[in-house]
């Protein structure tokens, strides 16, 4: 228990240093943009490929239920809501953790064991600001971007099953789509995934930056990154969802 | 001094060529490795020595040509035939290729567990301990692989390679990654095994000093071709410029002269 | 079109695997050891994630139905969505994340350290020795893990519904019960089984074909996770279409 708290404390300090580096403009812009591009390109296809079938399945299951009550027109708002509020953010973030976070942990870990980070410090440049911080920021920005791609992909998947495969009316699908969700939900999903991206960025870059123990240590950092990132953002998901959508606490 | 008639060839390569991605790694290699003797294949790093040895054990197949072991074509053998051949061979990999999740004893006894079901655990343990003693590491059967040094890993790897009493043992760069003292110790170990087992050894190496101590025959690979092959003393006196260049770069010239003068046939 | 090449290599791999294992029963001890390791490794993460999925199913279900006056339906929403879709996919995702990546990286490390070659040289078939026990281990353990996922999801959804949302627990349970039929459990298990087989075969495939050096291990592990994720969600759709379509 204390070990976990200690770890959280250290990650917090790491995060504070990243924020400071950003605010004092010590983070190299080019590195940030390069890493951002890398993450988005790497994760784009997997995110789209993973959320699309979820949209399809939502349509499939949803139609079956709504058809019982003759209320098929409720399908598209249902699909849009499910995708935008939960499925896309969670699936996109999981893939960002597994693809983006894991590879940043591996990169920084390799730099650590090859003493490249020490070399940077010795040259009078803060290795955290120069190497780690741009990656943390890249993940924080990439995650909501990828989530939006996922949302579109999921809704298209839902459309595909409902309209193209099951023959529902195109017009009805499109016009009813925003019945349950509004701008607040879109903001909500963007905020959620920005938070998730920051979590993934902090955990993966912290673990990579602080790798110990050679190549085996890098392997451990990568494994731990994926698991811890997912655990933490899933917990955060619950807290954020509670905050946005509230409970009916008397 | 006279050379006995060459013993029958237990491994034969005929016109073997192999390419990887447009690079011709082996170019028309023809070679007959005699039984019961130690043959070394030398050459600079990356000249295809490991590739050659992998053809012998059937891990790779030639693009052109054929590889025969005990008279059986390796490339066309069925899996059952190939596995039967492999049970008569042993191989020491560069880093030992031991299984990290098993103890030393479990590693050495691994072939017995899978191929000698007639033995019980006690008999296996006895054989494992015996082989470990042969390679100079008695009593370490319960240690983990991670706790071994590089030299110790090679010895354990060798113990595993000999436990099924093979007729051929292949050595992939036995001296690589070792300091000079340990490297000498491994050479001594190989010579000791030669005397003890009297079977066919094929050694791949770029360490010419060790090779000369250990080998009866030497073949030299250069840019994928076999530039010369013959008894050790003949290679040492070779007039082939490539061979001479390689030897000169790697052997102390006074020692080379002394060896030539003595007319030795390999093992001093 | 390296994707197509990849599919081709995977098919060759599968063919070789079947040939190697079809009449060779595995070592029971090894299968049980793998099953235990996979189960133990995946369980903690699985329970935590399943719990949070339950919480969010409850919250989102409430959010969707309450405005229409249908908050009592939350129970039905949770049980239907949970058992038909979420539980099998989550169980699969967590097992893929923990056990699958461990399989891919372990086998990849063996590949780059020539240990798989060593098995071949010792005339022990690496597919029979390495992959078969893992495949059977997952198959043994997955049904149990799926049930645990279902149970955890329902429990946490119940707790959220009663404690956080202040609804009637008995009503929740009643509607939850109405949302599922016995056959749903069978479909759920079947999905889990199919996913488990895919996780084992694809992760081991990536490990087996790993390239050189530590980068090869990283690429193998990465490739395994992404491929398994995509394969599982697509298969999930097709199976749902098959079962419920």
Interface check for A21 against chain C (CB to CB < 8 A): the answer is: no
Strands B168-172 and B64-69: unpaired
pLDDT band at residue C164, thresholds of 50, 70 and 90?
A: confident
Interface check for C21 against chain A (CB to CB < 8 A): the answer is: no
Tokens of C89: 């996919």
Q: Residue C53 falls within a domain, yes or no?
A: yes
Q: What is the DSSP letter of B263?
A: T
pLDDT of the residue at C18: 92
**3-state class of B89 per DSSP?**
strand
Interface check for C121 against chain B (CB to CB < 8 A): the answer is: yes
Mutate to test the interface with C, among A247, A248, A249, A250 (most CBs of C within 10 A): A247
Q: How far apart are CA A236 and CA C52, in angstroms?
A: 10
Q: How far apart are CA B162 and CA A114, in angstroms?
A: 38
Mutate to test the interface with A, among C6, C212, C214, C232 (most CBs of A within 10 A): C214
| A contact residues 137-196, partner C, Cβ 8 Å cutoff | 180
Rounded to the nearest 5°, which phi and psi values hold at B197?
Answer: -100, -30
Distance from CA of B232 to the nearest CA of C (A): 28
Question: What does each C-alpha distance from B149 to B137, B156, B178, B179 come to in angstroms?
Answer: 12, 10, 10, 11
Tokens of B186: 């491994």
Distance from CA of B230 to the nearest CA of C (A): 28
Per-residue pLDDT tens for B37-65? 999 999 877 768 889 999 999 999 999 99
Q: How far apart are CA B66 and CA B236, in angstroms?
A: 29
Tell me: pLDDT of B109 over 60.
yes
Tell me: pLDDT of B250 over 80.
no
Q: At what angle do helices C74-81 and C132-159 cross, to 10 degrees?
A: 170
pLDDT of the residue at B255: 63
Q: How many CB atoms lie within 10 A of CB B20?
A: 12
Tell me: pLDDT of C15 over 90.
yes
Q: Which residues of A touch C45 (CB under 8 A)?
A: 227, 230-231
Angle (CA) B222-B225-B226 rounded to 5° is 90
Q: Residue C212 falls within a domain, yes or no?
A: yes
| A contact residues 75-114, partner C, Cβ 8 Å cutoff | 78, 81-82, 85-86, 91, 94-95, 98-99, 102-103, 106, 110
Q: Residue C182 falls within a domain, yes or no?
A: yes
Average pLDDT, stretch A117-126?
89
Q: Which fold has domain B6-88+168-268?
A: Rossmann fold (3.40.50)
Average pLDDT, stretch B115-128?
92
| C contact residues 84-113, partner B, Cβ 8 Å cutoff | 110, 113
Span between the terminal Cα atoms of chain B, in Å: 14
| Of B164, B193, B244, B216, residue with least CA distance to B41 | B216
Q: Do C237 and A57 touch (CB under 8 A)?
A: yes
Per-residue pLDDT tens for B138-196? 999 999 998 999 899 999 999 999 999 999 999 999 988 888 888 889 999 999 998 88
Tokens of B176: 């690589």
**Closest to C123 (Cβ–Cβ): which among B59, B98, B115?**
B115
| Of A9, B82, A80, residue with least CA distance to C20 | B82
Q: How far apart are CA C42 and CA C55, in angstroms?
A: 20
Q: Do B59 and C115 touch (CB under 8 A)?
A: no
Strands B217-222 and B200-205: unpaired
| Of C199, C10, C209, C5, residue with least CA distance to C93 | C199
Distance from CA of C132 to the nearest CA of A (A): 24
**Cβ–Cβ < 8 Å for C48, A231:** yes
Per-residue pLDDT tens for B2-40? 445 556 789 999 999 999 888 888 999 999 999 999 999
pLDDT of the residue at B267: 44
| Of A124, A123, A129, A104, residue with least CA distance to A204 | A104
pLDDT of the residue at B74: 92
Average pLDDT, stretch A88-106?
92
Per-residue pLDDT tens for C61-77? 888 777 777 777 888 88
Q: What is the dihedral sign for C-alpha C171, C240, C96, A233?
A: negative
- Start-end of H helices in chain C: 2-21, 28-65, 74-81, 87-95, 101-112, 115-121, 126, 132-159, 169-179, 182-208, 213-244
Mutate to test the interface with C, among A52, A57, A218, A244 (most CBs of C within 10 A): A57
Long-range contacts formed by C223-227: CB under 8 A, 24+ apart: C223/C104, C224/C100, C224/C101, C224/C103, C224/C104, C225/A98, C225/A99, C225/A102, C225/A226, C225/C96, C225/C97, C225/C100, C225/C101, C225/C104, C226/A46, C226/A95, C226/A98, C226/A99, C227/C202
Q: How far apart are CA C31 and CA A62, in angstroms?
A: 40
Q: How far apart are CA B35 and CA B32, in angstroms?
A: 9
pLDDT band at residue B134, thresholds of 50, 70 and 90?
A: very high
Interface check for B115 against chain C (CB to CB < 8 A): the answer is: yes
Tell me: pLDDT of C33 over 90.
yes
How much is the ipTM here? 0.84
pLDDT band at residue B89, thresholds of 50, 70 and 90?
A: very high
**Closest to C214 (Cβ–Cβ): which among A54, A85, A215?**
A215
Q: Do C118 and B97 touch (CB under 8 A)?
A: yes
Tell me: pLDDT of C140 over 60.
yes
| Of C41, C50, C159, C24, residue with least CA distance to C100 | C41
| Of A164, A163, A198, A206, residue with least CA distance to A72 | A163
**Closest to B95 (Cβ–Cβ): which among C114, C122, C123?**
C114
Q: How far apart are CA B265 and CA C101, in angstroms?
A: 54
Q: Do C105 and A219 touch (CB under 8 A)?
A: yes
pTM of the model: 0.85
DSSP E strands, B187-235: 200-205, 217-222, 225-231
pLDDT of the residue at A209: 95
pLDDT of the residue at C84: 86
Average pLDDT, stretch B118-130?
93
Q: Residue C78 falls within a domain, yes or no?
A: yes
Q: Residue C25 falls within a domain, yes or no?
A: no
Q: How far apart are CA A239 and CA A188, in angstroms?
A: 13
Q: Residue C148 falls within a domain, yes or no?
A: yes
Angle (CA) B189-B193-B196 rounded to 5° is 140
Per-residue pLDDT tens for A167-220? 888 888 888 888 888 888 899 999 999 999 999 999 999 999 999 887 788 888
**Cβ–Cβ < 8 Å for B37, B227:** no
Q: Where in chain B is CATH 3.40.50.300?
A: 6-88+168-268
**Cβ–Cβ < 8 Å for A200, A207:** no
Rounded to the nearest 5°, which phi and psi values hold at B40?
Answer: -115, 140
Chains that touch A (3 or more CB pairs under 8 A): C
Range of the domain at C134: 41-244
Total number of domains constituting chain C: 1
Q: Which residues of C touch A82 (CB under 8 A)?
A: 60
Q: How far apart are CA C49 and CA C55, in angstroms?
A: 10
Q: Do C233 and A53 touch (CB under 8 A)?
A: yes
Tell me: pLDDT of A249 over 70.
no
Q: Which string of DSSP letters, residue by residue, matches C4-47?
A: HHHHHHHHHHHHHHHHHHTT----HHHHHHHHHHHHHHHHHHHH
Interface check for B93 against chain C (CB to CB < 8 A): the answer is: yes
pLDDT band at residue A51, thresholds of 50, 70 and 90?
A: very high
| Of C117, C102, C98, C101, residue with least CA distance to C43 | C98
Tell me: pLDDT of A13 over 70.
yes
């Amino acid at each position: 228990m204390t070990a976990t708290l200690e770890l959280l404390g250290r990650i917090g300090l790491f995060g504070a240093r990243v924020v400071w580096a950003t605010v004092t403009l010590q983070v190299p812009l080019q590195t940030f943009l390069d890493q951002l591009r890398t993450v988005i390109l790497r994760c784009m296809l997997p995110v789209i490929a993973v959320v699309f079938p979820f949209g399809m399945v939502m349509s499939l299951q949803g139609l079956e239920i709504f058809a019982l009550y003759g209320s098929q027109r409720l399908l598209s708002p249902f699909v849009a809501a499910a995708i935008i509020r939960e499925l896309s953010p969670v699936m996109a973030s999981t893939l960002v953790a597994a693809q983006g976070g894991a590879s940043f942990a591996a990169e920084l870990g390799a730099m650590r064991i090859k003493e490249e980070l020490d070399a940077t410090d010795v040259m009078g440049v803060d290795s955290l600001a120069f190497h780690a911080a741009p990656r943390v920021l890249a993940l924080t920005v990439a995650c909501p971007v990828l989530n939006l791609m996922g949302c579109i992909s999921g809704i298209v998947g839902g459309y595909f099953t409902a309209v193209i495969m099951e023959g529902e009316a195109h017009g009805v699908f499109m016009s009813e789509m925003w019945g349950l969700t509004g701008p607040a939900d879109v903001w909500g999903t963007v905020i959620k995934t920005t938070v998730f991206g920051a979590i993934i960025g902090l955990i993966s870059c912290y673990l990579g930056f602080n790798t110990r123990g050679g190549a085996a240590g890098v392997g451990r950092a990568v494994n731990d990154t994926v698991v811890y990132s997912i655990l933490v953002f899933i917990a955060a998901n619950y807290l954020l969802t509670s905050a946005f959508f509230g409970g009916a606490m008397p | 001094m006279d050379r006995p008639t060459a013993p029958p060839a237990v491994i034969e390569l005929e016109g073997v060529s192999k390419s990887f991605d447009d690079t011709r790694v082996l170019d028309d290699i023809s070679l007959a490795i005699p039984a019961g003797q130690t043959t070394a294949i030398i050459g600079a790093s990356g000249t295809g020595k490991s590739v050659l040895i992998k053809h012998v054990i059937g891990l790779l197949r030639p693009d052109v040509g054929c590889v025969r072991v005990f008279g059986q074509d390796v490339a066309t053998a069925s899996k059952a035939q190939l596995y039967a051949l492999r049970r008569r061979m042993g191989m020491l990999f560069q880093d030992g290729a031991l299984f990290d999740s098993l103890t030393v004893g479990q590693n050495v006894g691994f072939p017995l567990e899978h191929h000698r079901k007639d033995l019980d655990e006690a008999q296996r343990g006895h054989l494992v301990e015996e082989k470990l003693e042969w390679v100079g590491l008695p009593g370490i059967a319960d240690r983990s692989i991670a706790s071994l040094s590089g030299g110790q890993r090679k010895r354990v790897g060798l113990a595993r390679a000999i436990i099924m009493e093979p007729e051929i043992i292949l050595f992939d760069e036995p001296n690589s990654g070792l300091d000079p003292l340990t490297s000498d110790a491994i050479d001594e170990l190989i010579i000791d095994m030669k005397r003890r087992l009297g079977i066919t050894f094929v050694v791949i190496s770029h360490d010419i000093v060790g090779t000369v101590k250990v080998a009866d025959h030497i073949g030299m690979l250069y840019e994928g071709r076999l530039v010369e092959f013959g008894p050790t003393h003949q290679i040492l006196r070779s007039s082939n410029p490539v061979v001479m260049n390689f030897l000169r770069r790697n052997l102390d010239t006074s020692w080379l002269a002394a060896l030539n003068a003595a007319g030795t046939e390999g093992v001093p | 079109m390296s994707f197509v090449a990849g599919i081709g290599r995977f098919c060759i791999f599968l063919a070789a695997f079947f040939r190697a294992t079809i009449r060779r029963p595995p070592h029971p001890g090894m299968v049980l050891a793998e099953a235990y390791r996979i189960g133990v490794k995946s369980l903690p993460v699985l329970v935590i994630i399943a719990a949070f999925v339950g919480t969010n199913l409850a919250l989102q279900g409430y959010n969707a139905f309450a405005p229409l006056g249908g908050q009592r339906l939350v129970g039905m929403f949770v049980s239907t969505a949970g058992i038909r879709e979420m539980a099998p996919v989550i169980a699969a995702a967590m097992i893929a994340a923990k056990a699958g990546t461990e399989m891919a990286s372990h086998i990849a490390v063996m590949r780059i350290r020539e240990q798989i070659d060593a098995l071949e040289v010792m005339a022990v078939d690496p597919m029979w020795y390495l992959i078969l026990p893992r495949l059977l281990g997952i198959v043994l353990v997955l049904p149990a893990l799926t049930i645990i996922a279902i149970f955890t999801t329902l429990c946490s959804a119940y707790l959220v519904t009663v404690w956080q949302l202040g609804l009637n627990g008995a009503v929740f349970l009643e509607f939850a019960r109405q949302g599922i039929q016995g056959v749903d459990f069978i479909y759920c298990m079947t999905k889990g089984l199919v996913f488990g087989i895919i996780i084992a075969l694809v992760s081991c495939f990536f490990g087996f074909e790993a390239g050189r050096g530590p980068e090869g291990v990283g690429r193998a592990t990465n490739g395994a996770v992404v491929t398994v994720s995509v394969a599982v969600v697509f298969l999930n759709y097709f199976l749902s279409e098959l079962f419920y379509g």
